[in-house]
Structure 1
Amino acid sequence: MNSIEDIIQSIEADEWMMNILKAAQQLQLPDWWICAGFVRSKVWDVLHGFDERTVIPDIDVVYFDEGTIDEAEEKRLEKVLHEIMPQVPWSVKNEARMHVRNNMDPYSSTEDAIGKFPETATALGVKLNLDGDLILTAPHGVDDVLNMVVRPTPYFTESAELLKIYKHRVVKKNWSRRWGEVKVDI
């Protein structure tokens, strides 16, 4: 695996992942993506040659809707997804409101929010377009995830406080415990 196309093909060949994407697509959310560990873990599992997928704590469905920023709507959407696929640990977040929780300036889109995730290797998202084709967004490219390097996104290098959050997060996540080839830039 060494390109965006390889990542897409790997996800397309994964029936579980495609079923999750199809379930999320049914919500018809504006500017939606499934992001973070959903993509990163798949890439690292493949690169490590794992036969079994790494269990991830949640499936992050993100979208951007400035017209409805009530957290209760996110919970309602999670409930709908649980009805479609009850065994999946859904987490739905409207990025039009998440800047408040994250103490940041407002995001302009879901891709803007993904680009401001703490790590470049996690700043990834996938979705199905209207034709059912899988597309991937990678605001910082895919080199770091493919090279199994964890480093802060440019946004998290802008201040000592943000860099401290990044460092705390990577220590807590301890990704190299599961994926031995992962290198963390602290």
Structure 2
Amino acid sequence: MEQDPRRLANAPEAEQREFVIEAVMSNPTAKAVLEQAHQLDLPDWALMAGAVYQAVWNRLTGRPADYGVNDYDLAYCDPSDLSEAGEAEVIARAEEAFSGIDAEVEVCNQARVPLWFGAKYGVDRQPIHSTEDAVREFASITHSVAIRLDGDGWPELIAPYGLDELFSLCVRPVPDISTPALWNAKIARQKKLWPEIEFVEAAE
């Protein structure tokens, strides 16, 4: 008998958190990225975006852990250095550390995002002072979860809105975070990969 993919909607938070951690860590590439990032010791870092929430979708729907994961978004937040050169130096160091991983790892100083996001995507962002701030600014609450290793190497989650929305398998846009055109194009791609999930379009 197939399991209900929405079986953990409104489950106890501890059970949801354990599921997310197991889902991400079951992907060998995500696990390797986390372990290497821990060694880099970046300020206020976390693995976020599709590598996290898509791992959960895959585990809930019985797919391989890395199904549909195009890249691995490794965020860090350093408000003390908003220079492009400073970020480039971190990216170069990270590229060397991740050279043995057969996947694209994108490294970004989240504190710099408001400097360029509006010009690129047409929506201005408020100042970001922490990785949790960045997670709060995702285009859907479903996406608002990240994972990192603590000082002792244990996985910990950043989920400022909780996890019920993620486990509901209903993906709704947050108003004024993304343009309708960008949002609808993104969910159109994802709907083809995860037809079990309900994707809500943004009004044009």
- Answer yes or no: same fold by TM over 0.5: yes
Structure 2 unaligned spans of 5+ = 1-6, 9-15, 118-123
Larger Cα-atom Rg: 2
Work out the percentage of aligned pairs sharing the same amino acid: 28
Q: Kindly tell me: are residues 44 and 131 of structure 1, through their superposed partners in 2, closer, same or farther at Cα, counting changes over 3 Å?
A: same
Q: 2-side partners of 1:36 and 1:81: how far apart?
A: 18
- How many residues of Structure 1 are paired with residues of Structure 2 in the alignment? 178
132-141 or 73-82, larger mean C-alpha shift? 73-82
176-185 or 48-57, larger mean C-alpha shift? 48-57
State whether structure 2 residue 152 is matched by structure 1 residue 144.
Answer: no
What does 1:1-186 align with in structure 2 at a 5 Å threshold?
A: 2=8, 3-51=16-64, 53-86=66-99, 87-102=102-117, 103-153=124-174, 157=175, 162=176, 165=179, 167-173=180-186, 174=188, 175-186=190-201
SS in 2 for 1:79: helix
Q: 2-side partners of 1:171 and 1:89: how far apart?
A: 24
Compute the RMSD of aligned alpha carbons: 1.9
| Preserved contact between residue 126 and residue 134 of structure 1 (Cα < 8 Å) | yes
Q: 2-side partners of 1:142 and 1:135: how far apart?
A: 14
SS in 2 for 1:26: helix
Q: Please report the TM-score for the alignment, with normalisation by the length of structure 1.
A: 0.85
Q: How big is each residue's C-alpha offset from its partner over 1:61-98, in whole Å with a ceiling of 9 and x where there is no partner?
A: 11111122222333333333332333221111111111
Q: Please report the TM-score for the alignment, with normalisation by the length of structure 2.
A: 0.79
One-letter amino acid of the counterpart of residue 95, structure 1: Q
Deviation at 1:56, TM superposition (A): 2.5
Structure 1 unaligned spans of 5+ = none
